Amino acid sequence: MPPFLLSQRVYIEDTDAGGIVYYVNYLKYMERARTEFMRSLGYGKGALFNVDLMFVVAETQIKYLKPAKLDDELAVSSEVLSVKGASLLFRQQVSRGRDILCAGTVQVACVARQSLKPTRIPAEMLAQLRRTNGE
């Protein structure tokens, strides 16, 4: 399955005084792409809030390659690299045209809402996520 893509415009609140995207905003763009990817599979926030689990970022590895600027149209990709019982590893990129601006991996853990302890991803969701990366 090809990576999920989300279009993202750079607004003034995303930039520093020089009109360059502030580094932490790339993580926000990636979060939006992961959220919309899950929504595309039928797991919007409403579906997740009906069960006693949530997903939290456990680890990120990000490489900043080129700056995004005010008013740029970006493509943010999200692709599942691996699925384990209670975690997912995503590969994500932020691009402008053919230029990759930022790339990395984000590990997301499934936790119980009340205890915040790791919990298994529900079987149906797990199977669907594994299908997205050919497992």
**Could you list the active site residues?**
16
SS3 of residue 115 by DSSP: coil
**What strand order describes the sheet that includes 4-9?**
4-9, 73-83, 87-96, 99-112, 53-64
What gap in Å lies between CA 46 and CA 117, rounded to an integer? 21
What gap in Å lies between CA 89 and CA 109, rounded to an integer? 9
